[in-house]
Structure 1
Amino acid sequence: MASAAERESMRRALTIAGQGPRGVNPQVGAVILATDGTVLAEGWHRGAGTPHAEVDALSRLAPGEARGATAVVTLEPCNHTGRTGPCAEALIAAGVARVVYAVADPGARSSGGATRLRRAGVDVEAGVLLEEGHALLDSWLAVQSLGRPHVTVKWAQSLDGRAAASDGTSKWITGPAARADVHRRRAQSDVIVVGTGTVLTDDPALTARAEDGTLLPQQPLPVVLGARPVPDDALVHRHPHRFLQYSGDLMAVLDDLRMRGAHRVFVEGGPTVAASFVREGLADELLVYVAPVLLGGDMLALRDIGVDTISHARRLSVSSVQTLGDDMLVIAIPTPTPHAADASCGASGRVGPPTSEGDA
């Protein structure tokens, strides 16, 4: 059972972990406690290639000062050698007597630190403030589970499933409350994705904005899918981040975005791009904003997703339905089906490198 001092130190470790960058590596914090519960040192992971949190904390102590101490860490100490050595071995070498951690390391190569520590005679307690630990690492853990960034596919539609009127006009199907919700979700994402068709037709800025039009503090990286060139005067050139442009396989695009540190990808447009993520089994969450209007015609909000018979329908589990002004937001999670799994098996391949816009 974790002591009060250990639980309080875990809260501190979770706080300082947030000072590290969010990206390919997890945000991790560590606090070293003396036998009387006083804090000897603390540290956090500052990014790829830098000392891990445990080693960062130990480096602030004199040789032998950690002997008999307790290490409180937000993530299970790693047990592999990458750019840095195994944290489990560093703790053993320092003479730490007890390790308390919140979240187990899900990595196939990096996990096993707790077992290594126990074999060396170190007392280990797992799952302390587990819920708070998962909240800190939520998006990173999703990437570890999926093997790629988490993908949310969003579209807005009329009640009869149209994304635009017959003449192609679509501003605005939904009202201010729904649009504000979209901008809030953009700011929570690492990447926003549209196709070249949307860029050429709608000229979106792809920024996250407040209701008064000012930019929100957090801005997603804009990504354009498709081979057609983006005009020099397109609004996306004014985005705070230089956009990336890809053409080719979607899984390879997600692989590259993961290597760039992206955890959450927000796919906004248009109907062809949205359909491609759904068809390939790469949509983890669907956000459908439904306006109480009828448009008719053939401007569907979602193009072909590979459903040629009712038995191949993509089944969904609705997680919530929200009212936003006059509009409705349906949030749904795709339910795996044998047909969908077969389709997603083809979602691996090569993609060309980013264009010069992505070299920044």
Structure 2
Amino acid sequence: MAVNETERRAMARALELAAHGPRGVNPQVGAVILSPDGEILAEGWHHGAGTPHAEVDALSKLAPGAARGATAVVTLEPCNHTGRTGPCAVALIEAGVARVVYALDDPGAVSGGGAERLRDAGVSVDSGEQADAAHALIDGWLTAQRLGRPHITVKWAQSLDGRAAAEDGTSQWITGPVARSDVHRRRAEADAIVVGTGTVLADDPALTARDGDGLYPHQPVPVVIGSRPVPEDAAVHRHPHAPLFYDTRDLHAVVAALHARGIQRVFVEGGPTLASAFLASGLADRVLAYIAPVLLGGSKLALTDIGVPSIDAARRLVVDEWLPLGADLLAIAHPATPLEEGA
């Protein structure tokens, strides 16, 4: 049975609801219950670990029997296991729901399989509706499920000829205000922002996500990697969150420590050395390259050694979007070869 326009609108609404939920060990999920006539009967979302899942949250707002023959539109496949809450697939079956439309399959070995359970009970099931939007919403959680670490975005700004700074080291500002505003918006979507001590000592960044003259409500936790001491009066110490310092070159250890703290989205915004180290370590799920129409020449490359000895070993990327930002251009890309578990 094909997904109809009413169900598509309901999925868009479910994605809006999902965004209300907190990011953490559980995914953000939204649900909309539609009557057989396509009217919205109830809405719900997952409010955090230990609380009812989105489907159950929505069903709880209905009188017993009110969902019989209804359609449940959910951003993630209804779960099929008992944790701190019961299986959502069973809750939907017991409520008499006749049809389920969901965006993404649950990748969990234990929690997955809800769709099969629903079908076995005679429920009509369709998947994949607005999957890209749902994936973008919970990419951190999905990466954590697949790789056991946060989703990592590596960002840099460069001149058209691939330089991150002029020969004297100055780099403010290669890109224009529209591009810089875009960076801050993306910072606000991350759980942590990572730089090296070199960037802190050279630029004294606040590492906040600024919205004009103010701050975004959500601020990423500042993370500084490196062995050089950071002055007590550095701007990073005035961040709304206490900074985390890691005196190590082992990026896998840093990423594991962040994962243990419940951090799911990491935004790497250090200089060429740190960006290159993350890329060389295979720790980049997404690349953001802000390209300015300016030529600098010289030796201050945007990337250094990333472990590519020959063209055959090039790190191939797939560009998801070329986004004009004022006079600048943003390339949004991901690795052409999927990163494997344990990479």
CA shift, 1:320, in A, is 4.9
> Given the superposition, is the C-alpha separation of residues 97 and 257 from structure 1 closer, same or farther in structure 2, using an over 3 Å criterion?
same
Among 291, 296, 300, the residue aligned to 1:294? 296
Residues 274-293 of structure 1, C-alpha deviation per residue, up to 9 Å, x if partnerless? 01111012223241434513
Residue identity opposite 1:292 in structure 2:
V
> Does 1:285 find its partner at 2:283?
no
1:267 partner amino acid: V
Asked if structure 1 preserves the Cα contact closer than 8 Å seen for 2:290 and 2:328, the reply is no
| Matched residue type, 1:85 | G
Q: TM-score, normalised by structure 2?
A: 0.81
**Could you tell me how far 1:50 is from its partner in structure 2?**
0.9
2:28 paired residue number: 27
For residues 206 and 179 of structure 1, the distance between their equivalents in structure 2, rounded to whole angstroms, comes to 13
Q: What percentage of aligned pairs have identical amino acids?
A: 62
Seen in structure 2, the aligned counterparts of structure 1 residues 193 and 54 have a Cα distance that, compared at 3 Å, is same
Match of 1:358 in 2: none
Over residues 178-208 of structure 1, what are the superposed CA-to-partner deviations in whole Å (9 max), with x where a residue is unaligned? 3333323323433221111111121111122
Q: CA separation of 1:96/1:5 partners in 2, compared to 1, >3 Å: closer, same or farther? A: farther
Alignment match, 1:202: 203
Closer, same or farther in 2 for the Cα pair 1:113/1:239, shift >3 Å?
Answer: same
1:239 corresponds to: 239
Partner of 2:142: 144
Q: Which amino acid aligns with 1:272?
A: T
Q: Which runs of structure 2 are paired with 1:1-360 in the superposition (5 Å)?
A: 1=1, 9-32=10-33, 41-61=42-62, 66=67, 69-92=70-93, 94-103=94-103, 104-119=105-120, 121-127=121-127, 130-131=129-130, 134-141=132-139, 143-145=141-143, 147=147, 148-210=149-211, 212-248=212-248, 249-283=250-284, 284-296=286-298, 298-321=299-322, 324=325, 327-336=328-337
Segments of 5+ residues of structure 2 without an aligned counterpart are none
- Alpha-carbon distance in 2 for matches of 1:321, 1:38: 38
**AA of the residue aligned to 2:246:** Y
Are the aligned partners of 1:24 and 1:259 in contact in 2 as well (CA < 8 Å)?
no
Q: Pick closer, same or farther for the CA change 1:180–1:282 going to 2, 3 Å.
A: same
Counterpart residue identity of residue 209, structure 1: R
Render the CA deviation track for 1:237-256: whole Å, top value 9, x for unaligned: 22222222234432343344
> CA–CA distance in 2 between the matches of 1:60 and 1:328?
46
Task: Report how far residue 61 of structure 1 moved.
Answer: 4.5
Which 10-residue stretch deviates more, 36-45 or 82-91?
36-45
Query: Structure 1, residues 87-106: CA drift from partner, whole Å, max 9, x if none?
Result: 122333x3424131222323
State the superposition RMSD in angstroms.
Answer: 3.4
Taking the aligned partners of 1:275 and 1:9, their CA distance within structure 2 comes to 42
The alpha-carbon distance between structure 1 residues 117 and 159, as it changes in their structure 2 partners (threshold 3 A), is: closer
Q: Which ranges in structure 1 are unaligned for 5 or more consecutive residues?
A: 348-360
- State the secondary structure of the residue aligned to 1:194: strand
Q: Pick closer, same or farther for the CA change 1:54–1:178 going to 2, 3 Å.
A: closer
1:144, CA displacement in angstroms? 1.6
TM-score normalised to structure 1 length: 0.78
Give the conservation status (yes or no) of the 8 Å contact 2:33–2:73.
yes
SS for the counterpart of 1:126 is strand
Secondary structure in 1 aligned to 2:215? coil
Rounded Cα–Cα distance in structure 2 between residues aligned with 1:332 and 1:40: 40
Corresponding letter in the other structure for 1:87: C
Give the drift of 1:110. 1.3
Alpha-carbon distance in 2 for matches of 1:286, 1:156: 8
Q: 1:233 deviation in Å?
A: 0.8
